[in-house]
């Protein structure tokens, strides 16, 4: 799952990272990995701190506009990634925010679509939750929600 998400970030990194003159080409892979890490960190934080319902609604394809709870989660990822772009790559605040805003919503939309699509097994909601919770009982409990 983690590799699939990294590949998804890479697929959408064109204009935001690869073609972005503010990010030197030799740092493209690191910038992609940082976007992936930002997504993983926020998802893990949300799951571990009571946001499981928001994650589940995202996986089921509900509420992907910016006014929804998931929009708030996406904005959290954008903010985290923008902070990383500023601190790690030296981008000014506006450039970092614009870069993150042009990449993260696209990736999360694709991630949501793939997870909600029963014909696409590249992302399985049960496996994702289980990996974030260390395989605790939450994974088996969620199994019933996806049948």
How many independent structural domains does the chain possess?
A: 1
pLDDT digits (tens, 9 = 90+) for 60-81: 655 444 444 455 889 999 999 9
Q: What is the mean pLDDT of residues 23-28?
A: 95
The model scores a pTM over 0.85:
no
What integer pLDDT is reported at residue 86 of this predicted model? Answer: 97
> Which of 99-136 are b and which e, b meaning 16 or more Cβ less than 10 Å from the residue's Cβ?
bbbbbbbbbbebbbebbbeeeeeebbbbebbbbbbeee
pLDDT at residue 13 is higher than 70: yes
What integer pLDDT is reported at residue 30 of this predicted model? Answer: 97
The boundaries of the domain holding residue 99 are 2-146
Question: Counting Cβ atoms within 10 Å, is residue 138 exposed (0-12), middle (13-18) or buried (19+)?
Answer: middle
């Amino acid at each position: 799952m983690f590799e699939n998400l990294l590949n998804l970030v890479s697929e959408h990194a064109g204009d935001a990272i690869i073609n972005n003159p503010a990010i030197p080409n030799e740092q493209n892979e690191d910038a992609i990995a940082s976007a992936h890490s930002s997504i993983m960190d926020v998802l893990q934080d949300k799951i571990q701190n009571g946001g499981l319902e928001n994650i589940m609604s995202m996986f089921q394809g509900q509420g992907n506009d910016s006014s929804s709870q998931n929009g708030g989660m996406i904005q959290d990822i954008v903010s985290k990634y923008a902070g990383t772009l500023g601190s790690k790559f030296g981008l000014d605040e506006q450039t970092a925010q614009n870069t993150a805003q042009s990449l993260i919503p696209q990736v999360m939309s694709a991630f949501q679509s793939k997870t909600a699509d029963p014909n696409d097994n590249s992302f399985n909601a049960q496996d994702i939750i289980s990996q974030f919770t260390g395989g605790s009982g939450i994974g088996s409990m969620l199994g019933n929600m996806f049948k």
